[in-house]
Amino acid sequence: MMRRARQQLEGFELSALSPCGQTVATSFGRAHSEKPHATRTAYQRDRARIIHSRAFRRLESKTQVFLNGTGDHFRTRLTHTIEVASVSRSVANALGLNEDLAEAIALAHDLGHSPVGHAGEDELDRLMRDHGGFEHNLQSLRVVDSIENRHPEYDGLNLSYEVLEGLRKHDHGYHRGAERFPRPSLEAQVANLADEITYYSHDIDDGLAHGLLTPEMLADVGLWAGHLARVQAQFPGLDDERLHHFVLRALTDSQVEDLVTETARRVAESGVDSPDDVRRHPTALAGHSAERRRENAQLRKFLYQNLYHHPEVSDLNTRGCIAIRTVFQHYLENPSALGERTAERLEQDGLHRTVCDYISGMTDRYILKEAAMIGGRGSALD
């Protein structure tokens, strides 16, 4: 059996990827130089480092929509991340982009997410209002840059520049050395949109499974209704569970196809011919068609009105936020309780940021347990 060397993989990238695809050969590299691996490219190593991190494992017990522990089949932040990685890789493959880079960005995109989902993120941002705020994309960067400690000589995972670039959002800027860009790589743009594609489908799926959404409620949502009619015509007489699963499968497939088709059209019309041309382009080149953007906006509005703000979801999230406030205040008043390893960061990052880092890394289960031990109203599952 022939052993494939890293150089062969990098050569394949150079010959097979689109001119706009980011190759390892043209990477800006890492903050700390490393000897290249014998059989893996830099982005493949990045992917492995992310998967083997503690922050990645903790995603298993962090909320997506339904508070972790409320059901065995609902998505968690980890299953969401895996689905985003799968969609990212599929789209990157179809467009001739770097699949390993797109996947690595997707796998890392929620590493900094707080417990209790977006409600928990908003609560931490409020608690940190006078101390730099909290935003999970920037927190993901903190996780891979300094909080994860895997090397004897420096903090962080020492990921490639292009993966770190993909974890940022536009309002935080993109820069490489002295040069600043209005956009990230096309792989990063794809991973960002794959995040949306994934949660549209799986949040409907979880909402139906929980009973908070019904097919009747979805009847006026254009994307659902259109795919439902086509599936019923192709497979008449399906039971509700099979029908709903196949409609969601068709919905996801159509989202991916629209993204691939529209992105390819934009790239062709733009005349860009390199990854840095993509970065310098004034508008995003990855995106959906105008019609699909309108349909997605309707679906997003429906999900916010009927699922994310549903009393059963918001009541659990409110209790989780009470737990976050309880634990946050406790550690501000008792920094010695942070433990020796976390307390070492106090001098460097200050008390509030150190407490915020510590709490943002907690799982739903752990924050509830901590709040209950402290004596607060922490058990959101009572």
**209-213, 305-309, 339-343, 345-349: least confident range:** 339-343
The rounded mean pLDDT for the chain is 91
Residue 327 has pLDDT above 70, yes or no: yes
Contact 65, 316 (CB under 8 A): no
| Distance from C-alpha of 197 to C-alpha of 84, rounded to nearest angstrom | 8
List, in order, residues 6 or more apart from 82 with CB less than 8 Å away.
Answer: 107
| Model pLDDT for residues 286-314, shown as the tens digit of each residue | 999 999 999 999 999 999 999 888 888 88
63: three-class secondary structure by DSSP: strand
Tokens representing residue 157 in the block? 């995972």
Q: Give the residue among 347, 345, 363 at the shortest CA–CA distance from 148.
A: 345
Give the mean model confidence (pLDDT) for residues 94-108: 98
Residue 169 has pLDDT above 90, yes or no: no
Q: Give the residue among 361, 291, 296 at the shortest CA–CA distance from 331.
A: 361
Contact 92, 99 (CB under 8 A): yes
| Distance from C-alpha of 38 to C-alpha of 50, rounded to nearest angstrom | 19
Q: Give the residue among 238, 236, 286 at the shortest CA–CA distance from 261.
A: 286
179: three-class secondary structure by DSSP: strand
Q: Give the residue among 337, 355, 336 at the shortest CA–CA distance from 127.
A: 355
Q: What proportion of the chain, given as a percentage, has pLDDT over 70?
A: 94
Contact 133, 143 (CB under 8 A): no
How high is the pLDDT of residue 65?
64
CA dihedral angle for residue 27, residue 32, residue 35, residue 37, rounded to 10 degrees: -60
The residue that leads in pLDDT, 353 or 1, is 353
Q: What are phi and psi of 63, to 5 degrees?
A: -65, 140
Q: What are phi and psi of 203, to 5 degrees?
A: -75, -35
| Distance from C-alpha of 115 to C-alpha of 121, rounded to nearest angstrom | 8
Helix 77-95 vs helix 240-270: crossing angle, to nearest 10: 50
| Distance from C-alpha of 266 to C-alpha of 278, rounded to nearest angstrom | 11
| Distance from C-alpha of 161 to C-alpha of 164, rounded to nearest angstrom | 5
| Distance from C-alpha of 301 to C-alpha of 160, rounded to nearest angstrom | 36
- Write down all domains in the chain, each with its CATH number in brackets: 11-17+41-374 (1.10.3210.10)
- One-letter amino acid of 44: Q
| Distance from C-alpha of 89 to C-alpha of 97, rounded to nearest angstrom | 9
Residue linked to tokens 């699963």:
245
| Model pLDDT for residues 174-227, shown as the tens digit of each residue | 888 888 999 999 999 999 999 999 989 999 998 898 889 999 999 999 999 999
| Distance from C-alpha of 320 to C-alpha of 123, rounded to nearest angstrom | 10
Contact 118, 370 (CB under 8 A): no
